[in-house]
Structure 1
Amino acid sequence: MILENNSRLKIIWNLAWPVMVSQILQTLLDIIDMYFVSNIGVNEAAAVGIGASIIGVIIVITQLIATGAIALISRKTGENDDKAVLEITGQALILSIAIGILISILGFSLSTSIIKLFGVEIEVAKNSINYLKIVSLSMPFVFFNLTGRAILQARGDTKTPMLIFGLMNLVNIILDPILIYGLFCFPRLMFMGAPLATAISNVFASVLMFKIILRKIFNDEIKKCLQVLSIKMNLICKILKIGSYSAVQAISRPITGLVMYKIANYSGTKAVAAFTIGGRIFNLVFIFLAGLNLSISVLVGQNLGKKDIESAESIVKDGIKLALINMLIFSLPYFMFAKYLMFIFTKDFEVINIGANYLRIVYIGVIFVIYPIVYGGAFVGAGDTAPPMIASLVANLCFKLPMAYILSKVFSMGANGVWIAISLSVLLEAAIIIYHFRLGKWKNKNVF
């Protein structure tokens, strides 16, 4: 029994750690990218911040395809149904390119209107529009890359996507100074060099992704690849049906976050600063949890495909234990050294005190995020993505936003009221998803 348990933990870890490394590499890229741009000027740095935030929301739409692909491919991989895996892969790739092209056209043509909504200064707006237009042109490649990553991950290969995206980030980092400052024989593009570097690195990654998928999924047979690229509406509808719930859930989070910034602003600029810094610090907690969520999704899907419900349940239980260990490890610095963590990012004592309260109050609730993360992964693997969406929407939109306003404004609790609302919303989301999970319907979910 101990050997079986250790074996499961090893499998979960082997799937999780490449995702963790990818998260760290992406964070590193964001920091380096911002470093080069901020050296040009404050307006340029602000423009990248706005443009990248919008692109971040747009990229969430890839959940439409990625979640459905993971659920269906992991299930069919568990059933050893290679023909179905090929067909689902083909339809997912068709969807990625089609939706990517549509988003590209909309993003490019509506960039000016979108940036105007932010009401920023003329120079910042001009740069933001250019950033959005250039990166929008690469959206078909972005969607192809993220869908390809989901396809490989669903088959249990998380290392190859890590390598591809790692190389993509490396190309981006190398191109940034070359294109921005005009090194070697390249022209000096200044601000325009940053989004162009991002776009080129996405095209580069697409070439690698196509070659890997052709080799690993289609055994280097172009004919076999072309055979599954004919449109099959029944499969497309299944992918979109599963993915739609996850997409709604994913899109609601950044939207909720923007509104929470507005509510936090009622307590002053320093509360917003504390909220921003605290949020960045909290990202550390989710590095392992992101990998764990993906590994649970894949393993649950594969075991349900094998009709091995007992193993699927055991994997979820192990996932809860691993997630809890992660939360206990981070609890020490977040509670005992909260002020020191804030001091790394700011020397303003008021911001430090507000931020320390944020870390301590919110972490009490965030401990229970283990259930949305692990159970949410199980639901995705089972192809039953409605319960996580319901839990997220109820907790974040219906509860957190009004509660944050009521506690901070009506009860005059200021920033602490906002932090309490965030903490309570995680508890509510956990309670809802635990309820749905224990109903057990996910075990017998029919995705075909």
Structure 2
Amino acid sequence: MEKYVKIFAWRRTHHPSGAGVLRLIKSKKLSIYSIIKTSLPAALDLASQPIVWLVEAVFIGRLSAAALGGVGFALQIILLTITVLLTFVMGAIILINRYLGSNDRWGANHILGQTIMTGVLFSLVIGITWYFGSPLLFQIIREKEFMANVPVPETYLSGIDSGIQYLKIIALFAPIILTNFMAVSMIRGVGDTHLSMIINITINLTNIILRPILIYGLFGFPRLEVQGAAIAVCTSHTIGFLMTLYALRRPTATLFLSMSELTTPNWKSIKQLFKLGLPTTVEQLVWSGGQLVVSGFVAWMGIRELALHQVFLRIQGVLSMFYLGFGLTSMSHMGKHMGANAHSHAEWTGKMTHRIAFLFVLLVLIFMMVFSGPCFIFSFEKKMPFLLTFNFARFLLSFPWSNCQKP
């Protein structure tokens, strides 16, 4: 009799009843809905910044191809140094999700404060490096031969001068820009993707509105060209910083920024952040460093080649951020499941997110097949006529597949 009782118990455990199956199906449907609900805002949020960079390329490219190359090279330097901060951001996201999964809000807020404090200190060092190191960094660009063929060199924007001007202005606001980057990344990483989307879209819409006004001197404003583009970046990110600070100081927020945690270093927590985030940082540092090295070789070839290279890097950035949005959402859900000891559910969430991202890749592929190049030729043909001879379709179709492994 005992044998049959054990068999019956085993069958109930491994073969649930009809009601149990329905509950399981309903639970998985809700999980898929939750993944999509949080992934799409995260994808739009992350993609909005590269889209702004692409719009910036249009505005700067209409000034000169050299200016586009110089500003694009400055942007790659910025992205490479920001990668250092990913060590603490990724470590913080992992720890915060574990604390939230076990309902330990104090632990989550403690990690938030320690991460922001570390980011402020690093951003000061990074800003000083950008400002004083920019004249040396841009010597790699070869544009003497190109400038020699320009009819009126005095009125043509130099790539080296453009890049130095852009990077120096950004360096003055580095503590605000980089600290806000870290804070919004953690808000997104814990699953509050709607809030991070609102903040980033506000930043980027403000940026898009200010850029043409300050670059071309519209509505009575002075024509600042490359300097205007940098000022637009700093102004919009300052607005975003104030929004983020207000959101994190609300008592009802998912994460609360405590001033005592922000001003009291805990070396044990900082070491833990570094240990957990270092693998991701090394991966991203190799990727960003590789892109910068390639751009350095392209810059050595010439300023026109560098300008074309920057256009496609920004297109790739848009696509990469879509995939990264799915990856961060998966990490957020899995971290909370791990904190609640639901390991099987965490594994299922990771696999399902990968499948959803793959379907998204197919949609992107179709889009790229239909719109492969006319819009870029229309935007750049006046200052960069060599785009007319480029095969956009063959080149762009490789982007979705090269990025689909990133989640």
With normalisation by structure 2, the TM-score equals 0.77
Residue 214 of structure 1 is matched in structure 2 by: 249
Alpha-carbon shift at residue 294 of structure 1 (Å): 0.8
2:250 partner SS: helix
Residue 406 of structure 2 is matched in structure 1 by: 373
Q: Does 1:305 align with 2:305?
A: no
Alpha-carbon shift at residue 287 of structure 1 (Å): 4.9
1:373 partner SS: coil
Residues 256 and 306 (structure 1 numbering): CA distance in 2 closer, same or farther, change over 3 Å?
Answer: same
Alpha-carbon shift at residue 215 of structure 1 (Å): 1.1
Contact preservation (8 Å) 2:83, 2:284: yes
Q: Which amino acid aligns with 1:108?
A: Y
Q: Which amino acid aligns with 2:236?
A: S
Residues 53 and 365 (structure 1 numbering): CA distance in 2 closer, same or farther, change over 3 Å?
Answer: closer
Q: Does 1:135 align with 2:158?
A: no
Alpha-carbon shift at residue 210 of structure 1 (Å): 0.8
Residues 190 and 303 (structure 1 numbering): CA distance in 2 closer, same or farther, change over 3 Å?
Answer: same
Q: How far apart, CA to CA, are the structure 1 residues paired with 2:313 and 2:123?
A: 30
Residue 161 of structure 1 is matched in structure 2 by: 196
Q: Which amino acid aligns with 2:342?
A: D
Alpha-carbon shift at residue 220 of structure 1 (Å): 11
Residue 30 of structure 1 is matched in structure 2 by: 53
Residues 55 and 272 (structure 1 numbering): CA distance in 2 closer, same or farther, change over 3 Å?
Answer: closer
Query: What are the equivalent positions in structure 2 for 1:327-342 lying under 5 Å apart?
Result: 327-330=361-364, 337=369, 341=372
Deviations 1:234-269 (A, max 9, x none): 11111122222212211211332355578999xxx9
Indicate the larger mover: 249-258 or 163-172. Answer: 249-258
Contact preservation (8 Å) 1:278, 1:358: no
Q: How far apart, CA to CA, are the structure 2 residues paired with 1:364 and 1:219?
A: 34
Indicate the larger mover: 134-143 or 30-39. Answer: 30-39
Contact preservation (8 Å) 2:47, 2:319: no
Residues 66 and 181 (structure 1 numbering): CA distance in 2 closer, same or farther, change over 3 Å?
Answer: same
Alpha-carbon shift at residue 312 of structure 1 (Å): 0.4
1:215 partner SS: coil
Q: How far apart, CA to CA, are the structure 1 residues paired with 2:220 and 2:307?
A: 41
Residue 278 of structure 2 is matched in structure 1 by: 244
Q: Which amino acid aligns with 1:162?
A: M
- For structure 1, which runs of at least 5 residues remain unmatched after alignment? 375-448
Q: Does 1:108 align with 2:139?
A: no
When Rg is computed on C-alpha atoms for both structures, the one with the higher figure is 2
- For structure 2, which runs of at least 5 residues remain unmatched after alignment? 1-23, 148-157, 378-385
Residue 196 of structure 1 is matched in structure 2 by: 231
Q: Which amino acid aligns with 1:307?
A: N
Alpha-carbon shift at residue 321 of structure 1 (Å): 1.9
Residue 318 of structure 1 is matched in structure 2 by: 352
Alignment counterpart, residue 15 of structure 1, candidates 32, 38, 41: 38
With normalisation by structure 1, the TM-score equals 0.71
Q: How far apart, CA to CA, are the structure 2 residues paired with 1:15 and 1:238?
A: 27
Deviations 1:366-400 (A, max 9, x none): 4xx65x434xxxxxxxxxxxxxxxxxxxxxxxxxx
Alpha-carbon shift at residue 76 of structure 1 (Å): 0.6
Query: What are the equivalent positions in structure 2 for 1:13-412 lying under 5 Å apart?
Result: 13-121=36-144, 123-184=158-219, 186-215=221-250, 224-259=258-293, 286-330=320-364, 337=369, 341=372, 345=376, 351-352=390-391, 362=398, 366=402, 370=404, 372-374=405-407
Give the root-mean-square deviation of aligned CA atoms. Answer: 3.6
Residues 225 and 173 (structure 1 numbering): CA distance in 2 closer, same or farther, change over 3 Å?
Answer: same
Alpha-carbon shift at residue 138 of structure 1 (Å): 1.6
Residues 88 and 333 (structure 1 numbering): CA distance in 2 closer, same or farther, change over 3 Å?
Answer: closer
Contact preservation (8 Å) 2:68, 2:310: no
Alpha-carbon shift at residue 111 of structure 1 (Å): 0.8
Residues 15 and 216 (structure 1 numbering): CA distance in 2 closer, same or farther, change over 3 Å?
Answer: farther
1:110 partner SS: helix
Q: How far apart, CA to CA, are the structure 2 residues paired with 1:11 and 1:220?
A: 20
Q: How far apart, CA to CA, are the structure 2 residues paired with 1:68 and 1:220?
A: 16
Q: How far apart, CA to CA, are the structure 1 residues paired with 2:359 and 2:86?
A: 28
Structure ranking higher on relative contact order (CA contacts 8 Å, 6+ apart)? 2
1:22 partner SS: helix
Contact preservation (8 Å) 1:91, 1:231: yes
Contact preservation (8 Å) 1:273, 1:351: no
Contact preservation (8 Å) 2:44, 2:197: yes
